[in-house]
Amino acid sequence: MFIYHILIEETYRGQGYATAVFEKLERVASEELGATSIGLSVFGTNPDAQRLYKRLGFQEASIAMNKQL
């Protein structure tokens, strides 16, 4: 399974909503859909999301790089 977009409105961040969403998503993906993994992309400029995903057990699988001209 791959998550293309997830958004928690800024006023609700840091209150456990994202963790709850991911816990439910993992249960449904595994038990109901038979998924064996979940992938997602996160912007390098979003350290809060990176910390959340690492805390939830996601591991870095690739690194995309770009250069501003």
Q: Which candidate, 38, 29, 28, places its Cα nearest to that of 61? A: 38
**pTM for this model (two decimals):** 0.84
Give the pLDDT mean for 58-63: 92
Q: Name the percent of the chain lying above pLDDT 90.
A: 88
Give the pLDDT mean for 22-33: 96
Q: Which candidate, 6, 41, 42, places its Cα nearest to that of 24? A: 6
Whole-angstrom Cα Rg for the chain: 13
